[in-house]
Structure 1
Amino acid sequence: MRHVAMIEAPWRAPVAVLAGLADRPWSLAFLSAGAGWSYVLAEPDAVLAVPADDPRDAFQALAAFAGPGGETLADGPPFQGGVAGLLSYDLADRVEPLGLGRLDGWPDMACARYRALLAFDHDAGRMFAVGRGETPAEAQVAAHRALAWTGLPAPGPQPPACRLEPDDPQAYETAVAEVVGRIRSGEIFQANIARRWRGRLGPGARPFDLMAGLAAASPAPFAAYLRLPGRAVVSNSPERFVQVTRRGDDLVVRTQPIKGTAPRGATPTQDADLAQALSASAKDRAENLMIVDLMRNDLARVCAPGSVETPGLFKVASFANVHHLVSTVTGRLAAGRSAVDLLRAAFPPGSITGAPKVQAMKVIAGLEAPRGPFFGAMFHLGADGGLDSSVLIRTAAFVEDACGWRVEARAGAGIVADSDPAAERQETETKIAALAQALGRAF
Structure 2
Amino acid sequence: MRIESFDLLDSKDKFHQKALHWSGQFDEISFFNSNGMSDQWGRFESVLAVKALFSLRANKNVLVQLEQFLESHPAQFIPGFLSYDIKNEIEELQTTGKDHLEFPEAFFFVPAITVRLAKDKVYIEAEDPLKIYQAISDTEIPPAKTTISVQMQSRWTRSEYIKAFENTQAHIQRGDIYEVNLCQEFFAEDADISPVEVYHRLNAVSPTPFSSFFKVGHHFIISASPERFLAKRNGKLISQPIKGTARRGANSVEDKQIVADMLQSQKEIAENVMIVDLVRNDLTRSALPGTVEATHLFEIQSFEQVHQMISTITCLQDPQISNVGVFKNTFPAGSMTGAPKIAAMQICDQIEVCKRSIYAGSIGYFDTICDEFDFNVVIRSLLYNKEKQYLSLHTGGAITNQASAEQEYQECLLKASAVFKALDTNLR
* TM-score, shorter chain, exceeding 0.5: yes
Distance 1:289 1:146, change over 3 A: farther
Cα displacement (A) at 1:9: 3.7
Partner of 1:110: 107
1:29-60 Cα deviation digits (max 9, x unpaired): 11112233211110120111112xx3xx3112
1:91 aligns with 2:75: no
- 1:7 — aligned with what? 5
Q: How does 1:182-197 map to 2 (within 5 A)?
A: 182-197=171-186
Q: Distance in 1 between matches of 2:57 and 2:140?
A: 29
Instruction: Please point out which of 222, 232, 240 is paired with 2:220.
Output: 232
* Cα distance between partner residues in 1 of 2:215 and 2:242: 27
Tell me, in whole angstroms, the C-alpha distance in 1 between the residues paired with 2:325 and 2:302. 32
Is 1:409 aligned with 2:417? no
Is contact 1:338–1:385 with CA below 8 Å preserved after alignment? no
1:440 and 1:171 mapped to 2: Cα distance? 25
1:33 paired with 2:41, answer no
Q: Does 1:302 align with 2:306?
A: no
Within 5 Å, which residues of 2 pair with 1:165-314? Answer: 165-167=153-155, 168-200=157-189, 203=192, 205-246=193-234, 251-314=235-298
Q: What is the CA-CA distance between 1:157 and the residue it aligns to? A: 3.6
Give deviations 1:107-149, integer Å, cap 9, x for gaps.
111121124211122xx33321135xxxxxxxxx264565355
Contiguous gaps of at least 5 residues in structure 2: 39-44
Aligned to 2:117: 120
Quick one: structure 1 residues 19 and 156, their matched pair in 2 at CA, closer, same or farther if it must change by over 3 Å?
Answer: farther
Q: How far apart are the structure 2 equivalents of 1:145 and 1:85?
A: 26
Q: What amino acid maps onto 1:424 in structure 2?
A: E
**Partner of residue 391, structure 1:** 377
Question: What is the alpha-carbon distance in structure 2 between the residues aligned to residue 46 and residue 68 of structure 1?
Answer: 10
What amino acid is the match of 2:63?
A: F
Structure 1 counterpart of 2:358: 373
CA drift of 1:16 comes to 3.2
Specify the code of the residue in structure 1 equivalent to 2:210: F
Give the Cα–Cα distance (whole angstroms) in 2 for the partners of residues 116 and 164 of structure 1.
36
Number of corresponding residues: 410
Match of 1:50 in 2: 58
Distance 1:367 1:276, change over 3 A: same
Aligned pair in 2 of structure 1 residues 70, 202: CA closer, same or farther (>3 Å)? closer
Amino acid across the alignment from 2:67: A
Task: Write out per-residue CA displacement over residues 406-428 of structure 1, whole angstroms, 9 at most, x where no aligned residue.
Answer: 21101000001111111100000
Q: Contact (CA 8 Å) 2:295, 2:312: kept in 1 or not?
A: yes
How far the C-alpha of 1:436 sits from its partner, in A, is 0.7
**For 2:425 and 2:32, how far apart are their aligned partners in 1?**
25
Number of the residue aligned with 1:82: 77
TM-aligned CA deviation for residue 91 of structure 1 = 1.1
Q: After superposition, what is the alpha-carbon deviation per residue over 1:338-380, rounded to whole angstroms, capped at 9, x for unaligned?
A: 3222111111010000000000000000111211111100010
**Structure 2 counterpart of 1:382:** 367
The one-letter amino acid paired with 2:301 is A
Deviations 1:254-287 (A, max 9, x none): 0100000111111221121111111211110110
In structure 2, relative to structure 1, the CA distance for the partners of 1:11 and 1:188 (3 Å cut) is farther
How far the C-alpha of 1:23 sits from its partner, in A, is 5.6
Q: Secondary structure at the match of 2:412?
A: helix
Pairing 1:122-161 to 2, within 5 Å after superposition: 124-131=119-126, 141=127, 143-144=129-130, 146-148=132-134, 150-151=136-137, 152-158=139-145, 159-161=147-149
SS in 2 for 1:42: strand
Is the Cα contact below 8 Å between 2:191 and 2:390 reproduced in 1?
A: no
Superposition misfits of 4+ residues, deviation over 4 angstroms: 68-71, 142-146, 200-203
Amino acid at match of 2:68: A
Contact 1:15 1:215 (8 Å CA) reproduced: no
Aligned partners of 2:18, 2:257: CA distance in 1, in Å?
A: 37
Residue 21 of structure 2 is aligned to residue 19 of structure 1: yes
**Secondary structure of 2:26 counterpart:** coil
Q: Which residue of 2 aligns with 1:100?
A: 95
Q: Deviations over 1:287-324 (max 9, x none)?
A: 01111111111111111111111110000111111111
Q: Partners in 2 of 1:191 and 1:232 — Cα distance? A: 28
Equivalent residues in 2 for 1:280-359, closer than 5 Å: 280-359=264-343
After superposition, what is the alpha-carbon deviation per residue over 1:67-99, rounded to whole angstroms, capped at 9, x for unaligned?
Answer: 36655xxxxxxxxx5211110111111111212
The residue matched to 1:43 in structure 2 has which SS? strand
1:38–1:212: structure 2 CA closer, same or farther, 3 Å change rule? Answer: same
- Once the two structures are TM-superposed, the CA of residue 431 in structure 1 deviates from its matched residue by 0.5
The residue type paired with residue 400 of structure 2 is V
> Helix, strand or coil for the counterpart of 2:28?
coil
Mark the CA change 1:279 to 1:149 in structure 2 (over 3 Å): closer, same or farther.
farther
Aligned mates of 2:182, 2:58 — CA distance in 1: 26
Q: Report how far residue 252 of structure 1 moved.
A: 1.1
Q: CA RMSD in A?
A: 2.0
